[in-house]
């Protein structure tokens, strides 16, 4: 799958719900497997369907240490279909974010540090989960893709943007480059 890059119109479009008759289908299974592979191949910690030119409300949260996020916590990839925010904390935290659709840049973005979410699994079963810390940030970042936003929509100053190579060296303390 090809990852949409900033400036492509799909990244500004609102995703649509996956209909009930799509759950449990081979097409949905194949699409979500391809979406996960695309994210893993790109060293991402999350991805949303609009990032691969698909307008459905589908995303993965898949935190793990990687060259892009060396201190990320390890978790099994979690597929969320038709996610909805139930609640979020009033405590907001500033942190640097990157995006597979905004290559070579990082943004210093403020987000809630806790979010409670409802979603459906691949069979259409209703599920609920609470994310905190970095996992909440990943969810909210991917959720933004479902509502036609990227982290750039949260920037209020150019001082909140940094080249990823500079971020890796100055903030993360990593030498060399990550792709």
The CATH code of the domain that includes 56 is 3.90.45.10
pLDDT for res 71: 84
pLDDT at 5 over 60: yes
Mean pLDDT of 62-80: 89
Could you count the other beta carbons within 10 Å of the beta carbon of residue 133? 13
Side-chain half-sphere CA neighbours of 140 within 13 A: 27
Mean pLDDT of 156-175: 84
- Mean pLDDT score of the chain, rounded to an integer? 93
Is 2 part of any known ligand binding site? no
Could you tell me if residue 179 is inside a domain?
no
Structure tokens at 97: 């974010």
Is 141 part of any known ligand binding site? yes
pLDDT for res 174: 64
Could you tell me if residue 67 is inside a domain?
yes
Could you tell me if residue 34 is inside a domain?
yes
Q: State phi, psi for 87 to the nearest 5 degrees.
A: -155, 160
pLDDT for res 66: 78
Is 154 part of any known ligand binding site? no
Using one digit for the tens of pLDDT, what is the confidence trace for 140-157? 999 999 999 999 999 999
Which is the catalytic residue, given 90, 142, 159, 164?
Answer: 142
pLDDT at 176 over 70: no
Could you tell me if residue 91 is inside a domain?
yes
Using one digit for the tens of pLDDT, what is the confidence trace for 113-150? 999 999 999 999 999 999 999 999 999 999 999 999 99
Instruction: Say how far apart CA 147 and CA 150 lie, in whole Å.
Output: 9
Could you tell me if residue 2 is inside a domain?
no
Q: What is the pTM of this model?
A: 0.93
Could you tell me if residue 178 is inside a domain?
no
Could you tell me if residue 121 is inside a domain?
yes
The domain total for the chain is: 1
Residue 142 is among the residues annotated as catalytic for this protein: yes
Domain encompassing residue 17: 9-170
pLDDT at 178 over 50: no
Buried b / exposed e across 21-36, counting CB within 10 Å, b at 16+?
Answer: ebbeeeebeebbeebb
Could you tell me if residue 84 is inside a domain?
yes
In degrees, to the nearest 5, what angle opens at C-alpha 103 toward C-alphas 75 and 122? 40
């Amino acid at each position: 799958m090809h990852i949409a890059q900033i400036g492509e119109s799909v990244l500004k479009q609102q995703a649509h719900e996956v209909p009930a008759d799509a759950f449990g289908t081979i097409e949905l299974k194949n699409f979500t497997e391809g979406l996960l592979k695309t994210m893993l191949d790109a060293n991402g910690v999350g991805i949303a369907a609009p990032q691969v030119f698909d307008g459905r409300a589908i995303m993965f949260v898949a935190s793990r240490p990687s060259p892009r996020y060396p201190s990320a916590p390890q978790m099994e990839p979690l597929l969320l279909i038709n996610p909805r925010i139930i609640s979020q904390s009033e405590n907001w935290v500033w942190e640097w974010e990157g995006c597979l659709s905004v290559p070579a840049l990082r943004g210093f973005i403020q987000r809630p540090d806790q979010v409670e979410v409802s979603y459906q699994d691949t069979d259409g079963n209703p599920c609920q989960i609470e994310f905190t810390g970095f996992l909440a940030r990943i969810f909210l970042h991917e959720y933004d893709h479902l509502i036609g936003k990227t982290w750039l929509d949260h920037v209020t100053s150019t001082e909140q943007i940094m080249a990823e190579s500079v971020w890796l060296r100055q903030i993360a303390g990593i030498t060399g480059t990550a792709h």
